[in-house]
Every structure is written in structure tokens, then in C-alpha cells.
A and B are shown apart, each in its own frame.
Chain A
Amino acid sequence: MEVTSSWISIGEWYVSKKEIYTMSWDVDLQKNIVIAAPNGGPIAVTRDRTKIVEANIQTSKPLIFLYTASGQPVSQLIYDGNIIAMDWIENERLVTVTSNGTISVYNIFGETLSQNNYYDLIDHEDIIDCRISNSGIVVLTNQFNFYHIELFKSERPTKMADQYKEELDREGPSAWAVVESVYSTQHGSLGAELIVATRNSVYNVDASRADNQLTAQHYVRIVVSPCGKKMACLSPNPNGEQYDLYIYKTDFSSQLAKYMGVAKRTPHALKWVGSEGVMMTWNHSMRYFEAGESIVVPSHDPESRAPVFVVTEIDGLRIISEGISEFFQRVPSELRDIFDFGSGAPSSFLYSAAADFANHDPKADEAIRQIRANLDIAVGTCISAAGYEFSRAEQSRLLKAASFGKCFLDSYNPDAFVATCRSLRVLNAIRHFEIGIPMTMRQYNFLGPETVIRCLIERRKHLLAWRICDYLKIKSDFVLNHWACTKVRTNLPEDVLSQVIIEKLEAVPGISYANIASAAHNARRPNLAIKLLDYEPRAADQVPPLITIGQHEMALNKAIESGDTDLVYLVLLELKRQSGLTDGFLEIVFSRPVALDLLISFCKQKGDVVMLKKIYSIRGQVKETGHLHLSEAFSTDEFDIRHKHLAMAGSAYSQSKDKDDLVYAKLCEDQAKLELLQKELENQHEGKEFLGISLSDTIYQLILLGEHKRVSKIKSEFKVSDRRFWWIKIKALSQVGDWEELHNFAKEKKSPVGYEPFVEVCMDFSNPVEALRYIPKIQDHVNRAQAYLQINYFREAAETAFKEKNLDLLNFIARKCTNPEASNIIDQMRAQLSK
């Protein structure tokens, strides 16, 4: 068929009306209403309740039938209540609104995705009109209030400003529309914007204000274009016999077109064709308006009296009639360039040249030479034109022409060609009548492949979706995931199900199983859910559902495997909450060391001593029990409590089979003995604090108090080593500055720690004179020399080194020496040793 056969001339250009499907349905459009989704979306059909129909069981049921755009039945649903409006929103969801404020959202299978009642939130006002779009729903109530309700959000409906109200008569607003653009990415983030027409004027309304736009027209219909920038307004002309059509910018900045006296009757539909023109329909007749021109659009079947229904697309209009479905649009300039009669465009020459070439006609060469200079443009035009075509044969001819032209170009970037071929292949697949999505290239580019694939999986066309992913190199795990979720709801036996699902999904590393498991759980297949969860790679997605299903032990194992302590706690605390500290709970925990450690750590952080003791006593962990008592003892200053816990700790340690732990028992015993002694000391030395200080400190304090007898008793009782004892005593005596006593002590017997400590404490208190009493006693001659150096006794230091014939030491002393007289002597010694 000729491309131009579907063209209709209007003004200086063309529109086209092409058949895209023969409808495979059997629907009487005289008795029904048709509401189709844009972007080649599905069609909802319900009985037109304003028309009198012979009552039978079928017709009296409140049913909505859902079809694909090619008329393939998909599902049907029974609705409840008085539906005021229904329409499609993105992702092919059908929304219905009833007069008592119930908003329902369905998928193409008629399954309810959400249902909420807003009656309480809109002041119990009945809904009398409504517009449904991606940004939400605007309802008009019988009190003539507008509310904006956002879907899938928990916000309260927003009441719109109502300054227009005084101008309303009993009928309410004569027309109204929501201003929005399908291209906007942030749906409704700024709130809804309305155009509201009263009998005398027009208002621009949002949540905070209503601005009078001061036009004197009385509009009965206002429709905003898909781009949100233009609106078509229908107004009865003053003599009341005919209607005028005006096109304005939505901000009222200018009038774009007007058509006077265009209709005697109000049209059934007033719809935008893309954002360029407007179509009016009355039953089966149609009239198109664009840029000041208008034409009557012929119906494909002049015999039929059945009405047609139209749906606005971003780049045209779909016309749905009983027998066929058509796509109506302004003919794109690329197609005009190539196919218009007598076109002199290079692309037109290229197209015919390619055909000539195929027929071995030498004219081809001549044509190419003629357009040589513009060949790249011609190729580009043919590629674009192919994208507009629904006919595969024509796509192929146009692409061949482009490909032919490309041969004569040295460096033509093939990206556009390849991308178009790729997209067309996807489009042809989804346009097939069995799939039934008659999407145009522009719609496809607007939505993006991911959205299209999501539509396909929503329609359960998983295989096609998966192949498209594969073809376009898009991550396909969401397709498989959705497929599996759909699969678990079928009646297949569990073992078969788990096998097919795991087999398919295992090929995709990192794919999530958790939501499939949750779908299985919802479908009352807990065993399948458990089996699937076992494969979930992310513990954070795996453990919580296992708890929900009641698989606590498995949840605990998975949590432990993951190494995420927070998940382990999640399971442990849930278990504890459900079963308390029962044997069953403890058994589960005890058999897993990590869980046990974490539970113990939790108890310690919370200070839950009771639970800790229980755990240790059941497990026979006497050492830990001992530690627990020790820490209780050390956490208080009360002698009695400390004493009690020390005793208990000691007895716990002594029960241990490990010989090492007996050391701890002995330490506890010593500590208890020490504290008894300390208590006694506190009684004797009023105001002195002994309890809790160490044994060394106790001895030190007693030396300060001069209790030497007692000290030696304690020393032997607690087997304090001689060396330590000497250090304590040296430090204590120097502390009180009792240098005489220190000297006596040094003479008592040969020091087990040498005499360096004596020098050290003297120097700590900057007392070189005292230090000098001990330096000669230092045995190691290097240390002795160093000690002399410390008090600047250079000569004595040097003599020490000289006596031992230690030249290195002597040289070192020479460097440190600051006394010239001594330096001379040292130099002599050095000379003597160096000989």
C-alpha cells in the first residue's frame, strides 16, 4: 500500500490516519464506554450507565473489561460503588474514583493494588467530578471544593483555594482542567495547578490562591495539551446556537488560534492530538483543528453508526472503533520529504535511487550524483522516516535506502542507523497484535526501554521482556525476579517450582531471592519460601524474612554466617522475646559460639548479671562465674559486699577442673586476707584509707606511718619478694625525706636491688649530696660512672673508667665534661690508656 494513501491534506500540510490493528474483541460501542491508556496502552471498557440497555445478568453486573490495544481480552474486574471517573496512570495502572471517596488502583489483570477511602479527609463531601493523572487525582465535591490527592503517599489531601466560589451558580464550575505536563519528572512536587471556569471568568487556582484571569468568555470545556503549555477551550457563542473553539497558552499570555462556529452540538470528546492539534468527536464523526485550519476526518467505515473513542498520545491520537484501531498524526516532515508528490528533497531522490538500484536501473547512479552534496542529510532523513513507519516492509525499504546512501559516504557515523534498527526491532516485537502495544518511536524514546520492559513483565510477557533485555544488554535480573514471583503464585507443585526457579536464577549471580520468597510466603508456600531464602546472597534481606516465617534457627545460622552482629542480635532478641530464657532458647544459643559470645556481650553491656550467672552456671563456666563475682566485688566500696563476692569468686575458681584456675582462687584468698587487714588498719589509723589499695601500696603507706614491725610481718605473710620490698621501702623513705633512715636501711644488709635505686631516688629529689653516699657502692662500673656524671663529678667518673681501663667510657665522659680542670686530667688518663 502506498504510504500516501492514508494522508489527508489540511492547509499546506498533511495529516495521516493509519490502521494499526483489526480489533479482535466483540464489543458494542453504542452501549459501552472506552477508556484507553496512552503510549499504546491497554483499554478499559465498561457499560455506559447513561444508556438504557436491556437488563440481563451480564449487563447488570458492575464490570470493567480490560483489553490490549489490539482488542485481546486480558481480564475483567467487578467494582463497587458509584464510579465517577476512571483513567489510566503510568505503568498501565487503572484508577477508579467513586462518589464516596474510594480510590482504587488496579493492574492490567484487574488485581487491586491499593484501595483507600478519603471520605473523612475531604469533609464528607460527595465527589461529583474528577481528573486522574500521574501527579495525582483532583476531585470536585458537591460543595464545589477541589482537593488534590496524591496517590501512594500518606499526605492528607490538599484543599485548593476557593476565591472563585462567589461567582459560581448552582451548577458549579462550568469547566475545569489540571495544568500539567507529561514531560515533567517531578510529578506534583509543587502541588496541583488548576484552570477553573465560572460563568463569567476563568481562574488559575493552586493550594494557596485563585487568580482571576479576567477573560469574559464562558467556557464549557477546557482541555490541556500533553506538554502542559496549551489549552483548548470550548465556548458557546453569544447567540447560543453554535460553539467556538479557542486555543490559549495555559498561562493566559496569548491566544494561539480561534475557530468560530465550529459545532452546533457539544462534542462527545475534545482531545489533543499530540500538542499540535485538537480533535472533536460526535459519535462516529470527527473534526480536526490545527493552526487555524480544520477538516472533517472521514470515518473508516461510513456505514457504521457506532461511535469512535479517541485517546491523546504525545505525538498523535489513537482512534478506537468497533472494528479497527487507528493512529492519527500530523505527517512528519521526513515522510513528506520522501513521499510527497513531486518532492525535490534529496531524501526523495535517494529513496527512488535505492529502488532503481535494486532493479538494476542505471538511473540510480545519476540520482546519487545529483544529491551528492546533501547525501548525508538524505541518509539521516531516511533513517528517521523508518522510525515513523508501522509497516515493516516500508521500514525495510527506508533503511535500505539509507544503507545504500551510506555506501557513498566516506565517514558516516553509523550510530543513528544502528540505534534505529535496534529500536524498531523491539517496537515491531511489542506491536505484534498478540502483545498489542502499538507504541511509536517517539513514545518509546520518551518512556525509555526500561519502562517498556516493566510494562511487559506487568503483562507477564516475561520471555519477551527477557529477550529484549538480552538484545539491548540491559540487566535482566528484575525480569527474572518478577517472573519467579509470578510463578510461585501458580499451581505447580513445590518441588517443580523450586527447581525451575533456582535453575533459571542461578545463572544470574547476585540476584535477589528475598522478594520471591516473600511472594511464596504470601502464596502460602512456606517451604518453598524457606528453600528460596537459602539462596538469597544478602543476609540483610535473608534473615528478617526467615524470622517472619518462623525459621529462627536457620535465621540465626545465616546471621552468624554473614558476620553482621546486628543481624545476630535481631534473631537473638526476637527469640528471647518469644520464648524468654527457656532451655530451648539457651540450647539454640549455646550450640553456636558466636551467638553465645554476643549474648554474653549484650548482657555485660546492659549489666544483666542475673542472666550472665544463669548462662555460666548452666554451662558450668566456673571461671567466668568467678570473674563475674570479682567484678561485682570491685564495683563497690562496701567491705562486706566485697568480702562476700571475693569468697564466692574464690569458691567458684576452686571448683575448676583446670589447674591454672586454682591460681585465681589463691589470688582471691590473698585479696580477702588483705582487705581484712586493711579494714583493721583503717580502724587503727583513723582517717586513713586502706581498703582497695594494692599490697605494695599498703606496705608503702605503713612505712610512711613508721609501722616497720608490721611491715615485715606482712612481707613474710604475703611472700613479698626482697627486691620489691626494697624498692617500696627506698621509695617510701625518700618520699618522706627520711635520708638517715634510708642510709640505715642501705647498711642493714647487702641490697638485693643494688645501689642504683638509692641514687635514683636521691636524684629524683635533687639531692646529689645524699646520692654521693651510695654511688661508690654501685657495683657495675659503667653505672657508677654514669651516676657520677649525673652529679657532675667528672673526675670521679673518669677515675672509675680509668681503673677499669674502659677507654670508650672515658671518651664519653670527656665529651660530657664541662669542667676545664677535670678535662685536663681526663685527657691525661685518655693518653695513658691509648698507649
Chain B
Amino acid sequence: MNRGGPPPQQQQARGPQPGAMGKVPAQPTPAGAKKPPPLLLSQIPNISGQVLNLSSIRDQSKRELGEALDILPGGNKALVMDPKIIGLLNLVVDPQFLQSHGAERNYELKNGRLDTNCKNIIYIIRPKIKYMQMIKEHIIQHDIEKQSKRYAIIYIPRRTILCDRVLEEEGVAGNEFFNIKNNAVYLDEDLVNPPQGSGAPGQPAAPPPAAPGAAGAGGKKLPFPLHSNDKVFAEIRDTNFSVLGGILHKKAKDIDEYYKRFQSSQSPAAIRDFVKKLAQYQQEHNSLRIHTNVTEKILDITKSPGFMRRIECEQNMLAHINNEAVERYLEECINKKDPMYKILRLLVIYSLTNGGFKPKQLEFYRREIVQSYGAEAIMTLNNFEKLGLLCRAKESKPTYPLIKQDLNLIIEDLDETNQTDIAYVYSGYAPLSVRLVQAATKPGGWRSIEQALRLLPGPTFEEVQPLPQGAQSNAKSDRKPITLVYFIGGVTFAEISALRFLGRQEQANRDFVIITTKLINGDSFVDGIVEKFGEE
């Protein structure tokens, strides 16, 4: 943030004030200017001007998808989609594109009947066995009701032998079935897999405070795409929630002054200049209004005593201090039956930072959780134990304090307004993953943190990949090197913000491109491990 122009220190020194920052100047309607245009942001993010030319890859995905859709010729197509894929699809193609390939209706794939007038049914799904069983039900239902349909499946990212076999065993892999392999990759801007929904990046492992929607007029929820096409969002998305208010306030003042300047100077030249910039300011103005509303909702949460206590607890654990207070807080949360995901997340942090629980302690939490949240939690807790996220303390000392020290994970006296370290994203805690990237890109690489690497689970290695026979490097010598960071399993928005911060540092002298299998937050991470019954 704060690139170019003097930092708006005055506003920020006072700190965010919910009342003050919420005021967006009323928009005057100058003579000759039309009503502000409705806020229209393309749903598909612009990714062409970035470090890598990702748009060609997206075009490829689009083309592949088009070809896959054409496998059933003609129109009259119903698209039945994996609920988890709909959002991704929106980032690659628009509804018109789907229509131009004959799609007339869209459905979400779920258990139960599929009633459609369309003759051609195309499933766009991830290769999951349960989906195969749902599809089988559809086919059998249509067959019994003598509806003549044609079916096709588009698998993302790839067709698997497992799904083929299940279809075969279910007896529906007949002639009427087309299976298409579609290795589509979905990308956005400098990271592969795009930001969806809102969520201030700076929240310390807290759940995303606002739903993916902004409160519109009359309290109705409106969907609102968040990506770099939106100038205001591009400026605030990598900031900590604690400085969000100040920045928006400053922006509001800028726009206000712009309008005021117009009112005070009435010379023709000034008016011409005003009208020229009007559209851009109006767009920003509209966008600002929405972000201000969202920010207020975020601040309602981050200023609540409950949220404060929780951050305090998390920061105590990460700093490895005040264990007793932490334990008291954990027990209280269970006793008052706070959401179970919150408890699980806190327990995981506790276990990881303390090198596990004392035997009695683990048994205690297990009992307390089972009695409070139900016996189903037995299986969930067992899943966490299997993954080593909850464990019994070993005889050796906990390793976290050493790692914390070696990698400088905790930054005391952090100035959130004047960022000097990635730790700003978690209000003082530097994400370990990004610290590893940071170390790798420094001269000397990982050799300087060998001890910490030994303490972390799993092996570490460096591999230099030679160009295959006949291939040539097309790297241009006059550009910064590109570092590709691949998060397998998922990455949080805060980690992304931290990497972006690294990329902005002069001394890094490189561009980062992030690839990930999933965008996660604390809750979605826990959700993947929680045992579910009857629905899977």
C-alpha cells in the first residue's frame, strides 16, 4: 500500500473510527453529467497484463470447455454442475459462452431427481464416486419414465479410472455415454485459483467476516465480485483489518475534495477536466461505498470483545506464552459451546505450538468436546489425531519455540500501518510458509535455516531441473526472475498477501506467481477433516 504520494499518516494515527470512516461524501450531480453508471465489473478477472501471460492458458481452458460441450451436438443442453465448480467456471467463461454452445439450463448436481426438458444432459464435475452414483440415479429415473436423453460427463481436472469403473459397475457406461477428458486449469491474475467471496486478508486465522456479498439497499444481499479489476479492492485487499478503516477514510476524503474542487471552480477548462475524470471517480466512488459497508461489517466483528479475546489467545499460543490463560480460555469456549470449528482450530494451534498435549489434557478435551458437541466428534477428533494435528506430547521438547526463533515468526511492536515485514498480515505472526519462501529467495537459500528445516516435518530437497534434449529456455535476460510457489493442499488469503508483500520489496527482485490446489481459511481447512455422516 501507500505506493506513491505521501502516506496518510494523520488519519491513520488516530486509528480507525467506525463512525468517521463510514462517511462517504454525498455525490453531487453536476450539470451535464449523467447519473452515475451502475457498478459493472466484469465477472471474469483481467489477467493479461501480469507477470505471466495467463490469459492464453485461460483461453485454452475456454476452448477445451467449448469443445467438450460440443461433444453432444446441437443445442437443448442442460448443464448439471458440481456445486464446487460453478464459481471456478465463472472465472473462465460467461453465461453467453455457455449459451453459444447450446446450454439452455443450468442445474446444481445433488441427490435426488433431475427434472429437465432438455434432451442433452452434460455433467461438469470433479471425479467423485458419489457423483457417479447420483448420475446413475438420474439415468435410471429417466429410463423408467421413458424419457429419452443423451448424457455426457466433463471431468475437471481429469477423468479417472475409478469413475469409469464405478460407472461400469453401475451398469450405465453404455453407448449413450461420452466421457471427456478435460484438463482445464483455471487461473486468475498473479495466482492460480482466484479469490472468491470477500474476506479481509489480515484477519488472524479468523473466519471470513462478511458473506460474499455486500449489503445493498434495503438490507438485500447482492453478489459482488472481488478481484483486481476493482481499483479500490486492489488497493485494500492486502492490508490488515486494523488499518482498513483509515485507508478507506482517506480515499473518501480524496473523492470529496475532487467534488469540492469542481464546485469551487467554475471555469470551462476546470469543468472539462472534471467531466473527463468523472467516470473513473464515479466508479471508484461506487466501489468505495460498497467496500465501506463491508468494512463496517468486518469491524463490527473485529472490535467485539469475543474477537479480541480470541486473537489474544491465538497470539499467546503463537508467542508460546501465558499457557494457563490459554487453557482457561479453551475450556470456557467449550463450556459455553462456541462453534466447534473454532475449538478445533484453537486446539490444533495449541497442539502444534506445544508439541502436543499432556495425556490427561487430551483425554479431558476429548471428553469435554464429546459431551458438549455430541459423540459424532469422536470420529472427527480421531481424524485430527491421525493427521498429527492433535497429538500427545512426546518426551522431547516441543520444536515450535526453536522454529519460531530461527525463522523469526513473531514480530514484537509491529507497526501495522508502516509495513516492514510479512508479519503484518497476521498482526504480528509471520506465516511460516512464506518465511520459507523468503529464505529460499535470499542469497544462500535454505542453507541459512538448516536447523529449522530439520525441525519441520517432512524432507527438504533442492532439485535443479535440466532442460530436456532439444528444448531451449525462453527466459529473457532483461526481466526479473519469476518464482513459482505451489501450495499443495491450499493457501490462505493472508499468505497470498504476504507473498505479494515480498514481491513488492526491492531486494526480492523477483515476481511471484502462486499456484494452489485450493484457497482455504481456517474453517474450510477444518471442514475437510471433520467427519460427516449420512450425506457423503
Contacts and interface: CB of A to CB of B under 8 A. Distances in A.
Interface of A: 475, 477, 508-510, 566-567, 569-570, 573, 602, 605-606, 627, 630-631, 634-636, 663-664, 667-668, 670-671, 674, 692-697, 718, 720-721, 723-724, 726-728, 731, 753, 757, 786
A567 to B, nearest CB: 8
Given A510-B469, A634-B533, A724 B370 contact: no
A570 B161 contact: yes
A338 B534 CA distance: 90
Given A475-B470, A663-B366, A569 B162 contact: yes
B335 A753 contact: yes
A727 B335 contact: yes
A693 B374 contact: yes
A635 B533 contact: yes
B374 A694 contact: yes
Contacts of A695: 370-372
Nearest to A510: B468
A1 to B, nearest CB: 43
Contacts of B378: 630, 664, 667
A602 B374 contact: no
The CB with the most chain B CB atoms within 10 A, among A566, A674, A697, A728, is that of A566
B368 A724 contact: yes
B372 A631 contact: no
Nearest to B337: A696
B128 A605 contact: yes
A644 to B, nearest CB: 15
Contacts of B536: 605
Interface of B: 128-130, 160-162, 165-166, 305, 331-332, 334-337, 363, 366-368, 370-376, 378-379, 382, 468-470, 531, 533-534, 536
B363 A663 contact: yes
Nearest to A725: B335
14 contacts: A475-B470, A477-B469, A510-B468, A567-B161, A606-B166, A630-B379, A663-B366, A664-B378, A692-B374, A694-B373, A694-B375, A697-B374, A727-B335, A731-B336
B382 A667 contact: no
Contacts of A731: 336-337
A663 B392 CA distance: 14
Contact of B376 (A634, A664, A668): A634
Given A477-B469, A566-B162, A753-B332, 17 more contacts: A569-B162, A602-B129, A605-B129, A606-B166, A630-B379, A634-B533, A663-B363, A667-B366, A668-B375, A694-B374, A696-B337, A696-B371, A696-B372, A724-B335, A726-B335, A727-B332, A731-B336
Contacts of A670: 370
Contacts of A727: 332, 335-336
The CB with the most chain A CB atoms within 10 A, among B165, B373, B470, B531, is that of B165
The CB with the most chain B CB atoms within 10 A, among A475, A569, A627, A694, is that of A694
Contact of A667 (B128, B372, B375, B533): B375
Contacts of A726: 335
A636 B534 CA distance: 8
Nearest to B165: A573
B466 to A, nearest CB: 9
B373 to A, nearest CB: 6
Given A605-B130, A724-B372, A631 B336 contact: no
Contacts of A630: 375, 378-379
A694 B377 CA distance: 10
Contacts of B331: 723
Contacts of B335: 721, 723-724, 726-728, 753
Given A635-B533, A695-B372, A724 B162 contact: no
A132 to B, nearest CB: 33
Nearest to B373: A694
A727 B363 CA distance: 21
Nearest to B129: A605
Contacts of A674: 375
A573 B161 contact: yes
Contacts of B374: 692-694, 697
B531 A631 contact: yes
Nearest to A756: B332
A1 B328 CA distance: 108
Contact of A635 (B366, B370, B534): B534
A88 to B, nearest CB: 31
B346 to A, nearest CB: 17
B156 to A, nearest CB: 15
Contacts of A668: 375
Contacts of A627: 379, 382
Given A475-B470, A663-B366, A723-B335, A631 B379 contact: yes
Give the 8 A-B CB pairs with smallest separation, nearest first: A727-B335, A694-B374, A605-B129, A695-B371, A671-B375, A634-B533, A696-B372, A724-B335
Contacts of B382: 627
A570 B367 CA distance: 42
Contacts of B128: 605
The CB with the most chain A CB atoms within 10 A, among B130, B166, B372, B534, is that of B372
The CB with the most chain A CB atoms within 10 A, among B371, B374, B469, is that of B371
Contacts of A694: 370-375
Nearest to A642: B375
Contacts of B129: 602, 605-606
A111 to B, nearest CB: 31
Contacts of B371: 694-696, 718, 720, 724
A313 to B, nearest CB: 32
Nearest to A627: B379
Nearest to A693: B374
Nearest to A718: B371
A664 B378 CA distance: 8
A692 B377 CA distance: 12
A627 B372 CA distance: 20
B81 to A, nearest CB: 20
A510 B465 CA distance: 13
A11 to B, nearest CB: 49
Contacts of B305: 786
Contacts of A671: 370, 375
A694 B160 CA distance: 40
Nearest to A632: B533
A84 B67 CA distance: 42
A508 B160 CA distance: 31
Contacts of B372: 694-696, 724
A179 B337 CA distance: 83
A569 B366 contact: no
A606 B382 CA distance: 21
A757 B336 contact: yes
The CB with the most chain B CB atoms within 10 A, among A477, A510, A605, A728, is that of A605
Contacts of B469: 475, 477, 508-510
A566 B368 contact: no
A663 B378 CA distance: 10
The CB with the most chain B CB atoms within 10 A, among A630, A636, A674, is that of A630
Nearest to B468: A510
Contacts of B367: 667
B383 to A, nearest CB: 10
B204 to A, nearest CB: 22
A605 B131 CA distance: 10
Contacts of A605: 128-130, 536
Given A627-B382, A694-B372, A569 B531 contact: no
A122 B527 CA distance: 63
A566 B164 CA distance: 11
Nearest to B378: A667
A724 B333 CA distance: 10
Contacts of A635: 533-534
A696 B369 CA distance: 10
The CB with the most chain B CB atoms within 10 A, among A602, A692, A721, is that of A721
A167 to B, nearest CB: 38
Contacts of B379: 627, 630-631, 634
A571 B162 CA distance: 11
Contacts of B375: 630, 634, 667-668, 671, 674, 694
